Copies of this chain bind each other. A is one copy, B any other.
Amino acid sequence: MKTFKASFSSKTTTFWFNDSMLSLPARLKGERLIFVTDEQVFASHTRLFKNFETIVVPAGETHKHQGTVDRIVLQLIERKADRKSILVGVGGGVVTDMAGYAASVYMRGIRFGFVPTTILAMVDAAIGGKNGVDVGVYKNLVGTIRQPDFLLYDFALLKSLPHEQWVNGFAEVIKHAAIKDARMFSGLENTTVAKLKRDKTALASLIERNAKIKIRVVQADEFEVGERRLLNFGHTLGHAIENELALMHGHAIAVGMVYAAQISSWVKGFAQHSRLVTLLEQFELPTNARFDLDKALAVASMDKKREGNTMNFVLLNRLGNAVVHKIPIDDLAAWFRQV
């Protein structure tokens, strides 16, 4: 086990890497822990929850809405959870986003922590305090920014992770490499999902490296007025097609990254487009999708990155070096059509 602490504007979050979920009661002695997980994680790891108070919600992005958060709140009331209780979200990004949101509003905010069970949640979704739910097709339209007290990384939980979820998570790893870490990008070019599944040491180190990239960006700009926007690389189009095509998040943003890379080559002279496409393919991610452009643009126009008639769009100068570029919504439509 390895402890790492990261300070944010109003809280220090403790990261326990290479730990076991069962050590949580000892690490948080004397605290009342209430767990939130989804039916799928609960079914795969029922034994782990044996001695824990656990709220189980339906699995999947389609349940990431206010109604599910309302159910968590009602269960907290039934269990007479008070302001000192700690909510622990165990699952992928959907669970951690909703658990963090429920904890942020229950009694105007109780403490919470996460045990991410997917690659995507470990390297991205569970880090940085963004939480919330979708409203219809609009991703994460409602939520707050509030940091968790802790994240515990239990790599044993990955054993039950379906292969497509491994692939899904590596999209955010490749995104981190593309915007922030050219050396990691080269490293990824020399490996595959299958190799990383076998090499637990390499995997643990890669996950920790990615967690720390995300942590540093969030520390620099917790409330997303600058630097943090870079993490949205591939996400404008990605979010716009994710719910419409019922794609996994990673698959949607892989397509979004290819589009953004193409626009980067036109606007910024980005010359490594093909390396990005090749790496995404090597990690079994899609690099194109059939979608209704007008529908996607309508969804994108409600994106949180929009400001009036311009979009804060993320482009690459080169691998490892990204920049926010303000694009008028109308131009964005024209660019997307040309890709």
Residues of chain A touching chain B, judged by Cβ–Cβ distance below 8 Å, are: 9-10, 66, 70, 73-74, 77, 80, 82-84, 104-109, 130, 132, 135-136, 138, 140-145, 301-302, 304, 306-308
The answer to whether A141 touches B106 (Cβ under 8 A) is yes
* 9 new A-B contacts at CB < 8 Å, known A83-B306, A104-B144: A82-B304, A82-B307, A83-B304, A105-B142, A105-B144, A108-B130, A108-B144, A108-B145, A144-B144
* In the complex with contacts A66-B70, A74-B135, A307-B144 CB distance below 8 A: no
The answer to whether B84 touches A308 (Cβ under 8 A) is yes
Q: For the complex formed, measure the closest distance between the CB of A278 and the CB atoms of chain B, giving whole angstroms.
A: 35
The answer to whether B307 touches A141 (Cβ under 8 A) is no
The answer to whether B73 touches A135 (Cβ under 8 A) is yes
Write out the residue numbers on chain B whose beta carbons fall within 8 Å of the beta carbon of A301: 80
The answer to whether B77 touches A108 (Cβ under 8 A) is no
Q: For the complex formed, measure the closest distance between the CB of A148 and the CB atoms of chain B, giving whole angstroms.
A: 15
How far is it, in angstroms, between the C-alpha of A9 and the C-alpha of B66 when the chains are bound? 29
Quick one: closest B residue to A102, CB to CB? B142
Write out the residue numbers on chain B whose beta carbons fall within 8 Å of the beta carbon of A70: 66
Most buried by B among A107, A108, A132, A304: A108
The answer to whether A145 touches B109 (Cβ under 8 A) is yes
The answer to whether A138 touches B108 (Cβ under 8 A) is no
The answer to whether B73 touches A142 (Cβ under 8 A) is yes
The answer to whether A108 touches B143 (Cβ under 8 A) is yes
Q: For the complex formed, measure the closest distance between the CB of A325 and the CB atoms of chain B, giving whole angstroms.
A: 18
Q: Could you list 14 examples of A-B contacts with CB < 8 Å?
A: A66-B66, A77-B135, A77-B136, A77-B138, A77-B141, A80-B301, A82-B306, A82-B308, A84-B307, A105-B132, A106-B141, A108-B142, A108-B304, A109-B145
Write out the residue numbers on chain B whose beta carbons fall within 8 Å of the beta carbon of A73: 135, 141-142
How far is it, in angstroms, between the C-alpha of A70 and the C-alpha of B134 when the chains are bound? 12
The answer to whether A304 touches B107 (Cβ under 8 A) is yes
How far is it, in angstroms, between the C-alpha of A307 and the C-alpha of B32 when the chains are bound? 11
The answer to whether B143 touches A77 (Cβ under 8 A) is no
Write out the residue numbers on chain B whose beta carbons fall within 8 Å of the beta carbon of A307: 82-84
Quick one: closest B residue to A223, CB to CB? B109
The answer to whether A142 touches B304 (Cβ under 8 A) is no
How far is it, in angstroms, between the C-alpha of A77 and the C-alpha of B142 when the chains are bound? 11
Write out the residue numbers on chain B whose beta carbons fall within 8 Å of the beta carbon of A80: 301-302
Q: For the complex formed, measure the closest distance between the CB of A7 and the CB atoms of chain B, giving whole angstroms.
A: 16
* In the complex with contacts A84-B307, A135-B73, A143-B302 CB distance below 8 A: no
How far is it, in angstroms, between the C-alpha of A302 and the C-alpha of B76 when the chains are bound? 10
How far is it, in angstroms, between the C-alpha of A82 and the C-alpha of B109 when the chains are bound? 25
Write out the residue numbers on chain B whose beta carbons fall within 8 Å of the beta carbon of A136: 77
Write out the residue numbers on chain B whose beta carbons fall within 8 Å of the beta carbon of A142: 73, 105-108
Quick one: closest B residue to A312, CB to CB? B83
Write out the residue numbers on chain B whose beta carbons fall within 8 Å of the beta carbon of A132: 105, 108
Quick one: closest B residue to A85, CB to CB? B308
Quick one: closest B residue to A104, CB to CB? B144
Most buried by B among A104, A105, A144: A105
Q: For the complex formed, measure the closest distance between the CB of A93 and the CB atoms of chain B, giving whole angstroms.
A: 15
Quick one: closest B residue to A129, CB to CB? B108
Write out the residue numbers on chain B whose beta carbons fall within 8 Å of the beta carbon of A141: 73, 77, 106-107
